Structure 1
Amino acid sequence: MTEPKMKKLIFYFKLYDLLYVLLAFNAFVNGSAVMEIATLILVLFGAVTAVCMAAQFHVYRKMPNIWIIAAFLVSYLISSGLTRQYGVTDNLKEMLWLGISMIVIYGSSYMYEPDEMKQEFRILAWVWVAYCTIANLVSLSMVVWGRGYKIGSGATAKVVGLKWGRLWGIYDDPNHGGTIAVAAILLTIYLIVTAKKRWQKGICLFTIVIQFVYLVLSDSRTGIVSLTAGIFFWGLFRQFQKQREKDWVFRIRKIGFPLLIAILTAVLALGAAEAGGVVFEKMDARLVAVLPKKAVTPEYEKDTRKTELENDASNGRLDIWKSGLEITKTSPVFGVSFRNMTAYAEEILPETYLVDNAIHAKYDSMHNSVLDILVSQGIVGIVIFLILAGNTLWILAKRIRDVKAEDWTFLSGCFAVIAAMGAGSLFISMVFYLNGPQTYIFWLCFGYMMTLLVPYKDESCEKSDVL
């Protein structure tokens, strides 16, 4: 396949995968027969793309981190094999999702030129922002009509809308909805910075308001942390660019001002979110007073969220994390695999919080991506993860001097998204094992960033200065 045709194939796959993961987190759509067909198409499309990439292995083998990622996938395969008595099918699916994110989405950017990546990124960003704007407008409207709204019936029924005093909206989980909105905000900021026409900037500003209002009403502390990290690192990178133009040596006195600006920006975002929450609480009290009684269902339970946080500020996370460490002690080297951790805990540690708790929930993740890796792939997986993180930071420090001035905004935007999703992944499971929008945008931007740092046509790559 010629290079232009290969790039078209990759773009169409990325576009389809983006639409798929966004819809997969839409409670009105996921689990439907249409999504089952869409999943099958994604698998076939991904397989074709992967085969075509394999045919040009001489290009992708030079992609930074690709061998470390390969080792991570092999480690997961071993973990799955060692716990096959607890399940096989789900882990095969997990290997597929990991391969799509970490090989196809991440690695496929490597043959692109910077201008080609920017063009692709803008298109995908517009799709993301447009979808999230529509989705969150619907979500916001559910403040009136979606209090404890049920989709389906019986044991499979899903309650969305306004629930426990939080706006879940169209999502199954407000924390996922919040972090998806954060990614939309950061992508929109990039679109504003790079837009050439005023009407485009105006539309972008409108969408930011929609995403931010949803984030506030979702009461997602994870989303706020994610947004804070994204804004912080974007501001820091932009200030570093200005310093780089004068002198690359960053002394404390030189980075002090950029740090202060970034911190103040983050504090402003947190303050606005808190103030917005107070305003909504007052408006909501008036709205409930005029709504018909049948509109306020038991599932709404406005004070449940406050009660939970008063009793446990971590909202159960500390207990889940403790449970993860207990599981790790029983299988420290290769772990128990991500999709088998619940079944493993039920048999080996039936009294651990993961499967034995007051609300009778069977948790299937650690709500922390680092702990997910430790439990799923043991010490081996964590060591590979640390090598991946260390190698990335080493390349960033060594090669960032070579990034052209016209590519710095793109680099800053990508790093901001990576930082935001990475920060969010410390409190909900995403980025590694979850096939969701946050995982998609993380690995997409990660691939863009590494390609900017180490272009595949860069002759210096031949010197094996990167892994």
Structure 2
Amino acid sequence: MVRYQTILRWYMIIFISYSLTGWLGPINLLLPVQQVMAAALAAAGGLLLLLDLLTNRSCFKVPHSRWLLAFIVVLAISIILNINYGWSSNLKTLYWQILQAGLFLPLYVILDDTQRTQGVRILFWVVFILITLVNLISVGMFFAQYSAVFIDAMGKTQRLGFIDGRNFGLYIDPNYGGVVSVCVMLATCWYLLSCRTSRATKIILVASLVLNWFFTVSAFSRIGPTCGIAAAVVWLALHLRNQRNRGKKLDAKRLDAKQGGEQPFGGSTIQARTVDKANHLRKTVLISAVLVAGLVGSYFALSAVDTSYATWAHDNDLFGSASRESIGGSQWYPGPIDHGPENISNNRFSIWREYLEFSLDYLVFGKSPRNVMVQILEDHPDSFIAKREYGPHSGYVSIINATGWLGFATWLVLFGFFIRGLVGYLRRHTQVSVGFILAVTLLLVLLMKSG
């Protein structure tokens, strides 16, 4: 029989390749390659799960009943959401559910400090950290644009969306995209609740968890918000159960020590460490909940306003129908601005460079962008926004700015949270640090030479 570690090693290599093809390459050209890789990943993931069951290796360090329960809960939610769309949609949901379970359930085995697939772990961490940083920049730029209300001219920037960075570069049907992040979130939850690893690693995973949660809830699909809420409920239930079990074990240890008449050697130290771990986990969950509430609340407030704005912009052809339709935008989502068909094949580094340039101009050099939203409302007094008394002096723009600043401030906390964990992790892992520095250098070179 093929060795377990060999399967795991090839699984991670294919996963990294799959993520990079979705992140860097044109979707229409690499979609067949991604589909083949997805099938290979699902098969490898299923084989890993089967070996885990047959050999009782407990590599996931959680009871298998929990995996099964999560699968049933999320599948039931998906079926309920798609019940009006017939059996075809339910079969698609089941297909994506099984596929993504095979993709993501074995993923977190590699993160355990006790595993010894060193080369693949180093490569995975470098890619994982880079993709998470890019996604963090995307979220930050989203709120920064709203807090500043865009830059000097709309035609010189790109309307920031979640398509490029969402779900770790995994491009699938957006109507079922929430299933991907739910699998990631559930796996992360159980990993955080069960594995033994460094605090820096857990901080990075919590930041990634919050980020995926935000992408899921903000996904332009009917399933995203509900899946995000379902994951929150499941996470809370698991956390409470875990805390209750830890409390029972701690009480049992105290009772045994009391009945024995004296503490066993090192008993008090073990109890103190158990209490410290439980308190740290409780604080981690609380911080994550606050971050999620800030990001999600800010997004929902902005999206409620932006839906009206996007519809009006579409009616007035503000973004140009050619650029919107050619690059995949819709009447509800403006899509990239002022990029005609000749720029469709541009790689995404040019997009990220524009985001980074705007970020530096706004955050570092202190440039103050003019209020384009106010200018639009003043230039188009007959628009339906103005007719609905959403004029520039009605507090409409002030609400956008305040909500944008709330989301941006929350993002800054999350970004600092992530950087803290990243620095702690890189200080302990020299090989990953070297790979990370080389990867960042290569990324910056490509950014400077693109576009």
TM range, smaller chain: 0.3 to 0.5
Tell me the TM-score normalized by structure 1.
0.33
Q: TM-score, normalised by structure 2?
A: 0.34
Higher-Rg structure is 2
